[in-house]
Structure 1
Amino acid sequence: MRLIPVSQLRVDSVLALDIIDEHAKILLAKGHTLNQMNLSRLRTTNVASVYITDEYCFNDNTNYTSQPSNILRRVIIVKRLMKMVSAGTTTKEAVFHTLKAVYEMVDGLDQQKYSLRLVYEPKKILVNTFEENIIYIAMMSALFALKLGFSKKEASYICLGALVRDIALISYNFQEQEMNTPATKEHPIKGYNHLKTRYNLPEEVLEIVIQHQETYDGKGYPYGLKGEQICTGARIIAIIDMYYKIKTTNMSRTAATLEEDFKRWTAHLDPTYIKKFLEFVNIYDPDTLVKLTNGDCAVVTSSRPINPFRPQIKIVKSAKFNKEEIINLSDRPELHIHHILYYID
């Protein structure tokens, strides 16, 4: 299956998953073939992107993170928590529900940790952009920890730390009353103190909150911690967070540029975890259509490439190669992915 922005959807596309709105209402069911009326309706909703299937899709496995039903309830819980934090009315009950959602989420990831890959998940619901992004980063951080061999309990702490790390920047009242300016480099300390005095969160979570802006090279803040002085949770989250920032801003870049940017922008992060991250990540998901630098069109086939920036592909349209010829881009240095395609014309 392949993820397509609603703005790029075409008539006769077949849905690979149900389309749901921000209220968990099914708008169109899996297997439905889109018509012009469907497209017009979808473009008036808050749905940002949907999964389709066609002749170029061979991967029927649904990622845990791809299922809207796995995300939406968590989005609602986190959104409610953020709203209460902003209003200064957060209750222990709201924190409890957030903790419960985290443990359920990590348990689901743990059950599939060997088959799931680390991926970039773009927004699915327009009105939930901020909360969706936080949840995806938290989920991928937890999955990364599980794949590294951390326990479910440890992964849950990392997941929760990723959710609440910027609590001081999220709350407007907190900014005004205790921070003066939201950009201050003291916000990790303020967030730590805020959470420590009001909620009974584990120290492992609070440690992530106060250290999440520290960097492996010692140039972070607030204390300039270096290397393994920084807790493992903060080091793991920093890699996932940076990857999401790179992918969000560079989705239209060439693979070569994307790889260069990744190396440049992760140079200050834990090199051991970066190496493991590249073993676990799919830069390009299977079924992704791509255009190569020589003008050929292909579909990504491998979910475990040697170099995630240079995956295995199957030729779809070419003047040089045979149709359906399998090419490992790691063996063809002259070929690069130029950009992602949504359809083949």
Structure 2
Amino acid sequence: MKVLVHNLNPGVVLTSDVFSLTSRPIITRDTELTEEHIEVLKAFSITEVEVKSPKSAAKKQKDEYMTSSTTNTEQNTDFHSLYKKAVIQYKKQFENWQAGTAVDLYQVRLEIVPLLEIALDKPKTILSLHHFSEAQHYIYHHAVSVGLISSFLAKKLSYSKGDIIQLGLAGALIDCGMSKIQPRIFNKRDNLTQSEYEEVKQHPILGYKMLKGLTGIKESVLLSVLQHHEREDGSGYPLGTKGSQLNQYSRIAAIADVFHAMTSERIYRTKQSPFKVLEQMQMDQFGKFDTKILNILVNELTAFSVGTKVELTNGQVGEIVFIDPQSHTRPMVKIDGVDEIIALTKRTDLYIETILT
């Protein structure tokens, strides 16, 4: 049935592709619409679309997802809803840890696994995680998002399903030790004093101690919690571990941690474009991260094709018309509504903010 865009509610499913001025659809059929999708339709001045009840699409969606250890995914496959639920549940867990309660691995698993089922095959979902993050609740958003990004990288590295889930848990738990740091420090809006920074630098060790001895968790998960701030060149903390001494889980978690942190709104600074962050991680941080893993993240998140719709950091929307094979994050973009093509290789002040199609 046809429905006016301004009457749409999240959860309905498109029955046909939605086109704008390009040969590629801006949203494809069988997509279950979220609030973000509806905003995109409005942004492209789409007045009405063909939709159906989400019930008829539910079975198809479930078949495409990985087998879950919970029934939550069967009841709700909307990513954003599951994401928000996971953040709320993680916040409760974190507050319990602050009060001295032991880590409940089963509960953390319940929060993370349903999200993995949806996000693993969708690079654009991984790329959009920073849009959900809120500065005042950053630490909870960060945990959930780092778990998803870590699992995504593990899948691209051809890890087993078990390792993919373990890396999701590792990512979600890397900052559990922050629950033992004074809240006034990690919620501080000003620069930390040297003594405060030294206290923060203890959170990997505190997290390791919180998880040590728990059943159902691999040693590699413990090491990723301990080593996620270590760097390949030995410049990290808390122990200055480097090179071959770093666990592979730790290398993955380190990249996921920095990527999400730099692209998210924080109390003390604004977020940055994911593509600007990827460039910085490749250039400014050369020698600090595992090159193979970082290149996988860059390649997956910049797998553009001609015709892809993107939004730039200045708010302009356009279509990619040429991809520079030497600089995937800086293609040529034809701006909508004007006779202008921007070569991002020459406009170092601009970056791609997000992918629209």
Taking structure 2 as the reference length, the TM-score comes to 0.62
Give the match's secondary structure for 2:350: strand
Matches within 5 A, 1:1-345: 18=10, 50-51=36-37, 52-54=39-41, 56=44, 67-90=79-102, 94-110=104-120, 112=121, 118-124=126-132, 126=134, 128-172=137-181, 183-184=198-199, 185-197=201-213, 201-248=217-264, 251=271, 259-260=279-280, 263-282=283-302, 287-290=309-312, 297-301=316-320, 306=325, 307-311=327-331, 313-320=333-340, 329=343, 333-335=345-347, 338=350
Give the match's secondary structure for 2:212: helix
Distance 1:120 1:320 in 2: 27
Q: CA 1:197/1:238 → structure 2, altered by over 3 Å: closer, same or farther? A: same
Contact preservation (8 Å) 1:242, 1:265: no
1:339 is displaced (CA, Å) by 5.6
Structure 1 counterpart of 2:143, which letter? I
* Cα RMSD (Å): 4.5
Distance 1:56 1:223 in 2: 51
Give the match's secondary structure for 1:313: strand
Q: Per-residue displacement from partner, 1:50-103 (whole Å, max 9, x unpaired)?
A: 551236499xxx9x9983123122112211211110111246xx4312123333
Contact preservation (8 Å) 1:242, 1:266: no
Distance 1:317 1:162 in 2: 42
Q: CA 1:282/1:134 → structure 2, altered by over 3 Å: closer, same or farther? A: farther
Unaligned runs of 5+ in 1: 1-11, 19-25, 32-48, 322-326
Q: CA 1:136/1:300 → structure 2, altered by over 3 Å: closer, same or farther? A: farther
Distance 2:238 2:277 in 1: 32
Structure 2 counterpart of 1:137, which letter? V
1:139 is displaced (CA, Å) by 0.4
Contact preservation (8 Å) 1:256, 1:336: no
1:265 is displaced (CA, Å) by 3.3
Structure 1 counterpart of 2:158, which letter? G
1:297 is displaced (CA, Å) by 4.5
Distance 1:57 1:154 in 2: 44
Taking structure 1 as the reference length, the TM-score comes to 0.64
Distance 2:319 2:143 in 1: 27
1:104 is displaced (CA, Å) by 3.1
Q: CA 1:336/1:77 → structure 2, altered by over 3 Å: closer, same or farther? A: same
Q: Per-residue displacement from partner, 1:263-287 (whole Å, max 9, x unpaired)?
A: 2035411122222221112499954
Q: CA 1:155/1:254 → structure 2, altered by over 3 Å: closer, same or farther? A: closer
Q: CA 1:287/1:337 → structure 2, altered by over 3 Å: closer, same or farther? A: farther
Q: CA 1:245/1:262 → structure 2, altered by over 3 Å: closer, same or farther? A: farther
Q: CA 1:149/1:17 → structure 2, altered by over 3 Å: closer, same or farther? A: farther
Give the match's secondary structure for 1:288: strand
1:187 is displaced (CA, Å) by 3.3
1:17 is displaced (CA, Å) by 7.1
Distance 1:138 1:258 in 2: 18
Distance 1:318 1:244 in 2: 33
User: Percent same amino acid among aligned pairs?
Assistant: 20
Distance 1:162 1:75 in 2: 14
Q: Per-residue displacement from partner, 1:29-59 (whole Å, max 9, x unpaired)?
A: 899xxxxxxxxxxxxxxxxx9551236499x
